[in-house]
């Protein structure tokens, strides 16, 4: 009935709840998306209905009871967690204002709040300032969330600690339990000064355990105007220059939309430039020259005479493209790029478990921090990583963290080039790092993060540092993938063409895709924010991001083109559907 309705465009004359509820109970979320796909009013009605079902006081059994006789009835697929994920997917796909779904948004904010408490009071990996910034922006003026904040403060800090935080987070006094309100009245400024001093002393004693910037503070420049940018431009765009590049953005904590870069860091041998990207873009637009900054960034990335060092550059560049559409093709044009993410998979003895044993109770190091620890002796202090990078002015701790993140890439690169054998790397490391053509047969271990063997033994090529042939053509029978749970339509389409496909269920965690990919040698197909997480858990070229707004056929064509999969008529329906 739904498919016929779509073909005959009957949706406006039907009850969207009555049509979609039994489809959702049969795990047909993709069909539901298609059903409302061309009707904004129906999209809004569906989202409001789903949001109502996600209200904690709503009994979902009232919805499921009439449909228990359905032949493909899957009540386990119909719960608040699954519905909440569907709501976020629909909000993003249809570009609807999240304010339409207050229950789902509140629940997501509450999970963010619980996560922040875990980071601050259990894991102890967030500074007070950083934590308070995020708590205030998460809770805002929402009374329901403020109530949860007070309860969590009481549980983790006691009445006195809760009172101190209540004052700092500007909670209305009438919301506070009597014990907290009483403590709030007795608090004096002196108490606060003493507490902050103690915290600062603790922070200072901790610093010696971490990587320290070897350049003076006055050599870190925070740039907000185009005049300041010109000095940076002249120094960075020098032939033979080596530049450490990093980017920061405000954590989204699972909310709708792609992250937008708030800070771009460029590190040279003697100084670091921190570019306030939103301010610079705003200023250039006001002056009618909005292409100025994108032109500088494109010149930097496309100049083969300048070596750019990064860690997980592909993710950084996709966020950069979301920030400024003029930069969407930067990844295709880049030359002279070294991504140190690939070193993780090659450096001897580099494992989080090893790091955890060495460092006692602290959380095990991972990612860039683990690489810094192994190559330079001390890990990065990541307490500012989850900062609110959009808030101005930046705190001193944020400025030092941002500068360190970019500068450490220069030191790692220098150390690895000087003594590659000491880290279990090939002696021709320098040659392979800067992306020159090598006449020797291709070694199994290379530092280009863009290469990884595919299941067929051919290579999947992403953007490269020099022009290269596309991967050799393969048949669908040789191509195996695992599709994330928002791409079930794509998965079914590829299966029709003879591709070996595994589909995640709606309630599966995205990380399951990485497990399956590693165990079975599959390529991950995903979309949106999960791409950033999953791509770091598999070899480069083994994770591909698909545009969720495209239809399954368009998505499939992109995937086949990217991996050079050639489909013949005999492949169609060659696998059991």
The average pLDDT across 452-457 equals: 34
Indicate whether 44 pLDDT > 70.
Answer: yes
How does DSSP classify residue 474? B
Indicate whether 435 pLDDT > 50.
Answer: no
483 Cβ neighbours under 8 A, 6+ residues apart: 490, 491, 494, 501, 502, 503, 504, 513, 525, 526
The average pLDDT across 355-362 equals: 44
> What are the residue boundaries of the structural domains of the chain, listed by start?
1-100, 105-187, 211-346+367-433, 476-571
Range among 288-292, 300-304, 364-368 rated most confident:
300-304
Name the least confident of 224-228, 464-468, 554-558: 464-468
The dihedrals phi and psi of 555, each to the nearest 5 degrees, come to -60, -45
pLDDT of res. 112? 93
Question: What does the H/E/C string look like for 517-577?
Answer: HHHHCCEEEECCCHHHHHHCCCCCCCEEECCCCCCHHHHHHHHHHHCCECCCHHHCCCCCC
The average pLDDT across 43-59 equals: 94
The average pLDDT across 215-226 equals: 95
Indicate whether 451 pLDDT > 60.
Answer: no
Name the least confident of 138-147, 152-161, 358-367: 358-367
**8 Å CB contact between 345 and 367:** no
pLDDT digits (tens, 9 = 90+) for 321-348: 888 888 888 888 888 898 888 766 666 5
The average pLDDT across 353-365 equals: 49
Indicate whether 93 pLDDT > 60.
Answer: yes
pLDDT of res. 354? 46
Name the least confident of 91-95, 368-372, 423-427: 423-427
Indicate whether 120 pLDDT > 70.
Answer: yes
CATH class of 476-571: alpha beta
Name the least confident of 210-219, 322-331, 405-414: 322-331
Work out the pLDDT band at 469, boundaries 50, 70, 90.
Answer: low
pLDDT of res. 194? 53
Helix (H) or strand (E) holding 50: helix 40-53
289 Cβ neighbours under 8 A, 6+ residues apart: none
pLDDT digits (tens, 9 = 90+) for 233-251: 999 999 999 999 999 999 8
Q: Which CATH homologous superfamily contains domain 211-346+367-433?
A: Ribonuclease H-like superfamily/Ribonuclease H (3.30.420.10)
pLDDT digits (tens, 9 = 90+) for 256-276: 667 889 999 999 999 999 999
CA neighbor of 300 nearest in space, from 265, 260, 261: 265
Work out the pLDDT band at 195, boundaries 50, 70, 90.
Answer: low
Burial of residue 562 (CB within 10 Å: 0-12, 13-18, 19+) is middle
Indicate whether 125 pLDDT > 90.
Answer: no
């Amino acid at each position: 009935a739904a498919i016929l309705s779509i073909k005959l465009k009957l949706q406006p004359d039907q009850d969207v709840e009555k049509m979609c509820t039994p489809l959702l109970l049969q795990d047909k979320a993709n069909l539901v998306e298609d059903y409302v796909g061309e009707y904004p009013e129906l999209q809004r009605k569906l989202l409001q209905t789903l949001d109502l079902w996600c209200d904690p006081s709503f009994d979902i059994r009232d919805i499921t009871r009439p449909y228990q006789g359905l032949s493909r009835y899957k009540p386990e697929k119909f719960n608040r967690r699954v519905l909440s994920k569907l709501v976020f997917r629909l909000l993003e796909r249809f570009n609807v204002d999240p304010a339409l779904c207050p229950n789902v948004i509140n629940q997501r904010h509450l999970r963010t709040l619980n996560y922040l408490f875990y980071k601050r009071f259990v894991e102890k990996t967030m500074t007070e300032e950083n934590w308070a910034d995020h708590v205030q922006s998460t809770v805002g003026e929402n009374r329901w969330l403020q109530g949860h904040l007070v309860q969590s403060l009481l549980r983790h800090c006691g009445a006195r600690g809760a009172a101190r935080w209540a004052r700092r987070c500007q909670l209305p006094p009438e919301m506070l339990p009597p014990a907290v309100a009483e403590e709030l009245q007795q608090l004096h400024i002196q108490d606060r000064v003493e507490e902050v001093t103690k915290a600062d002393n603790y922070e200072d004693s901790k610093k010696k355990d971490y990587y320290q910037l070897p350049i003076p503070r006055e050599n870190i420049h925070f740039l907000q105007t185009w005049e300041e940018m010109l000095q940076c431009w002249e120094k960075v765009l020098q032939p033979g220059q080596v530049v450490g590049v990093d980017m920061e953005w405000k954590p989204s904590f699972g909310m709708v939309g792609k992250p937008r870069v708030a800070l771009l860091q460029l590190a040279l041998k003697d100084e670091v430039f921190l570019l306030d990207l939103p301010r610079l873009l705003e200023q250039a637009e006001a002056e009618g020259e909005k292409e100025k900054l994108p032109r500088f960034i494109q010149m930097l990335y496309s100049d083969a005479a300048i070596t750019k060092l990064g860690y997980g550059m592909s993710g950084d560049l996709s966020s950069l493209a979301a920030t400024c559409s003029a930069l969407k093709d930067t990844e295709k044009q880049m030359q002279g790029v070294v991504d140190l993410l690939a070193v993780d998979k090659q450096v001897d003895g580099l494992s989080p478990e090893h790091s955890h044993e060495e460092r006692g109770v602290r959380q095990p190091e991972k990612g860039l921090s683990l690489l810094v620890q192994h190559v330079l002796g001390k890990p990065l202090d990541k307490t500012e990583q989850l900062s609110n990078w959009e808030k101005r002015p930046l705190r001193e701790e944020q400025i030092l963290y941002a500068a360190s993140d970019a500068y450490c890439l220069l030191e790692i690169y220098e150390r690895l080039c000087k003594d590659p054998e000491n880290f279990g790397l090939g002696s021709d490391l320098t040659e392979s790092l800067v992306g020159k053509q090598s006449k020797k047969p291709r070694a199994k271990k290379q530092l280009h993060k863009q290469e990884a063997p595919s299941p067929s033994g051919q290579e999947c090529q992403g953007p490269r540092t020099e022009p290269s042939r596309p991967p050799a053509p393969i048949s669908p029978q040789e191509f195996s993938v695992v599709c994330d749970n928002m791409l079930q339509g794509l998965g079914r389409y590829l299966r029709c063409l003879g591709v070996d496909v595994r589909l995640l269920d709606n309630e599966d965690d995205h990380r399951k895709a990485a497990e399956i990919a590693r165990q079975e040698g599959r390529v991950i197909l995903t979309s949106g924010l999960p791409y950033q997480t999953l791509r770091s858990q598999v070899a480069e070229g083994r994770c591909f991001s698909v545009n969720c707004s495209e239809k399954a056929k368009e998505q499939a064509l992109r995937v086949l083109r990217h991996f050079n999969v050639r489909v013949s008529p005999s492949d169609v329906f060659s696998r059991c559907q």
